[in-house]
Each structure stands twice: as C-alpha cells, then as structure tokens.
Amino acid sequence: MNTTTADSDVAKQLALSKIWNNREARSVILQILTMAILIGFFAFIITNAISNLAAVGKTFSYDFLSQPASYDINQSLIAYTSRDTHFKAGLVGLINTGLVAISGIVLATILGFLLGVLRLSPNYLLNRISYCFIEFTRNVPILLHILLIHGIIVHSLPRPKLASVEWNLADLFYLSNRGVFTPRPIPDDLLWISGVALALGIGFTIWFRKYAKRIQDSTGKIYPVFLISIAAIIGLPVLVFFVTGSPVTWDIPEFKRFNFQGGMVLLPEFMALWLALSLYTAAFIAEIVRAGILSVSHGQWEAACALGIRRARILNLVIIPQALRVIIPPLTSQYLNLTKNSSLAIAIGYMDIVATIGGISLMQTGKEMETMIIVIAIYLSISLLISMFMNWYNTRIKLVER
C-alpha cells in the first residue's frame, strides 16, 4: 500500500514537472498567478478604502451626480446653469476637455510638420528661426508657457470698451482681454440640406482620390485631386447654402455698459491653453518629423530630382509617405501628452473635467474617491481611443513588403 502511494506521488510530481517544463503551459500558469495577485491587491485596496470611508462616516456611491451642482461654468458648448446636476457639469467639463484636445492636436500637427520641414530647409534664416523656436519651446515647462500666454492675452489686449471702438473688424469681430467676440450663427430649418451636401462632398472626395490614384497607376494620367476635393467639400456646400437662401441668421455681439452682449466668445483661458499646448507639442512633433524625413534614404531624393520633380512634390509624394512609418508611433505619444497636459487648465481657470468633477464637485460633495475615479477613467478612455485610432492608421499606411 505504501509502495502504491509512493508511486502515485512520484507520478504526480512527474506530471507537474512535465506541465511546468512545457513553455505554453508555464506561460498560462504565470499569467493566471499574476492576474490573481493583481486582482487580490486591488480588492484589498478597494475594501480597505471603503472601510476607512465608513469609519469617518462616508459611503462609496455616485448619488451626488444627480444633485444640483450649484456653480457656474465660464464656457459651455451646451445649455448649462448652476441648477443643473453634477453629471451635467461633468459633461460640460468633458466637452471642454475634448475641445481643447482636438483643437490642440490639429494645430500642433500642422505647426509641427511645418517646423520639421523648415528645420531641413536650405534657407539658412528659416532653418535657424525654426531651430531657435523649437529649442526654446521644448526646454521650458508647459505650465510656464500657459501662464505666459495667458498673461500676455489678459494684460496686453485692450479692455472691452476700447476694443469696441479700435480693436474690431467691420463691427463684427472684437479682440479684447475678455476674449474674442464673434457673430454666432443661428441655424434655420433648411440648413440640413447644406449638411447633406457637405457629407456628399466628403464621400465623393474619398472615392475620387482612390479613382485618381488607380488611373495614375495604370495610365500615368494625373488629375487635379486637391482642387477637385476643395470644390466638392467647400464649393458644393457653399453653392447649396446660397441656393437654399442662406438658412442662417447671425447674432452680432454689441458692447453694452461693461462688456459685449450676444454673439460667441473665445475666452482668454481657452486661447491661452490652446496656443500653449499647440506650440509646446509642435516643437516635439517638429523633431519627430525631421527624424522621419532623415530616415529616408538620400537616394530617394536624388532619384526624384533626376525625374525633374519639384522639391515640394518630392516631399509630398516620395519622402513623407515613407517617413510616416517612423513618424506615427512617436506622434501618438505626443497626442497623448497634449491631451493629458490639458489638465493643467485648472491653473488659469479653464473649466475642463479636472476643474469641474475633479475640482469644484469634489470640494462640494467630499467624494474624493468617486470623483477621482471618474476623472482617471475619462482620461484613460480618451488615451485608449487615441492610441487605438493611431495604431489603426499606422497599420494602414505601413509599407507592404513583398
């Protein structure tokens, strides 16, 4: 009986050893153990936090989201009053965060590509100017850029009363230290037709670009893709807009007593944050673009020049498409950095998600854990969406090897 038990133990040990020596089985076991440890760790942290909250008379809940926020927000792209809930206030903050992130990414990309190309320009003056700008901008903390630009806007631009007289364009646009005031469009019923025309123009442009490339590859004939695209995306909606009787009325800003009334306003806080994030990120993107261009073999330049192609066309058709495989991965990191750096908006009073849910709502409700979890989850979700899109784009434009 003892011999049988010993043989059974030896067989079990041999079986376990065989499983452990199998690479795939060992990998699965290690992953399961790692996940179990992580789940246990987070369960301990959460349970401990809930117990500590209960000890001081607090509960872990999100009921506060349905309570009145009782504070104003200086910029809201949707209807909002202080009587709305904390959830609505957080939604306004999320939209403001998205606005500055998207606007910053667009401007930073344009400026970054431009500066990156100028850094390689044979023109000495342009080369040195872009070099000095890049080195100065990326070696100064982003918070200082935000404070500097905000200070310039607030203290250098005129007060609204003076702006209403001297700093205006056709009595429609006004530049003051309280923001840029512009007419606000009020859409009429027929505006949707122009929207349909815009969608059709975009769809036609996507189809035509593919068609033009196919014709060029097969016959060598080149269509003016850019001009036709502009005509489809801009010309067609504008034509439909006027044909339907210009279905938009305008709310013109007017100076009354101490400030402008009516219209739209770009607040100094938004402009400072937008410009600072864009300029700061553009300096890093410029170096990424420069590295991507230099990664392309110089023989590509020589071959294109031998065909008599202009420098701008060489960059557009030959160099940039090959450089993108080097540019896109680090460019993704810069987009993520810009989005996360937008949380510094609280330093100048721009009401983003950190200032609303993570700031005023937190202080009013005392829900530190709940509000911080919301803010962290939002930034994590935004970052994952940006990474997902950029990874898809990187896969789409990568060079296909034979």
Q: What is the largest CA-CA distance in the chain?
A: 107
How does residue 42 score in pLDDT terms, banded at 50, 70 and 90?
Answer: confident
| Mean pLDDT, residues 312-323 taken together | 81
Give residue 2's pLDDT. 56
DSSP H stretches of helix in 244-319:
268-294, 298-306, 311-314
What's the order of all strands across the beta sheet hosting 179-182? 168-169, 173-176, 179-182, 264-266
Residue pair 101/338 in contact (Cβ under 8 Å)? The answer is yes
Residue recorded with tokens 């066309």: 313
174 membership: H or E segment, kind and range:
strand 173-176
Query: What tens digit of pLDDT does each residue of 62-79 get?
Result: 888 889 888 888 888 888
Above 60 in pLDDT, residue 162?
yes
pLDDT more than 90, % of the chain? 29
Above 90 in pLDDT, residue 60?
no
Residue pair 205/227 in contact (Cβ under 8 Å)? The answer is no
How does residue 276 score in pLDDT terms, banded at 50, 70 and 90?
Answer: very high
How does residue 172 score in pLDDT terms, banded at 50, 70 and 90?
Answer: confident
Above 60 in pLDDT, residue 400?
no
Which range is least confidently modeled, 22-31, 88-97, 227-236?
A: 22-31
Give residue 73's pLDDT. 87
Which DSSP symbol is given to 265?
Answer: E
Counting Cβ atoms within 10 Å, is residue 108 exposed (0-12), middle (13-18) or buried (19+)? buried
Bridge partner residues of 251 (DSSP): 184
Above 60 in pLDDT, residue 402?
no
How does residue 385 score in pLDDT terms, banded at 50, 70 and 90?
Answer: very high
Question: Domain extents for the chain?
Answer: 2-55, 86-183+266-397, 186-251
- Candidates 191, 194, 164; CA nearest to 177 is 164
- Candidates 261, 234, 263, 235; CA nearest to 249 is 263
Residue recorded with tokens 């133990």: 9
Residue recorded with tokens 């996360």: 340
Tell if the pTM clears 0.75, that is, is over it: yes
Distance from C-alpha of 150 to C-alpha of 349, rounded to nearest angstrom: 10
Average pLDDT value over all residues in the chain: 85
Residue pair 234/200 in contact (Cβ under 8 Å)? The answer is no
Does CATH number 1.10.3720.10 belong to domain 86-183+266-397?
Answer: yes
Distance from C-alpha of 367 to C-alpha of 372, rounded to nearest angstrom: 8
| Mean pLDDT, residues 17-26 taken together | 73
Give residue 401's pLDDT. 53
Residue recorded with tokens 């402009």: 271
Counting Cβ atoms within 10 Å, is residue 149 exposed (0-12), middle (13-18) or buried (19+)? buried
| Mean pLDDT, residues 199-217 taken together | 88
How does residue 240 score in pLDDT terms, banded at 50, 70 and 90?
Answer: confident
Give residue 394's pLDDT. 86
Length of the chain: 402
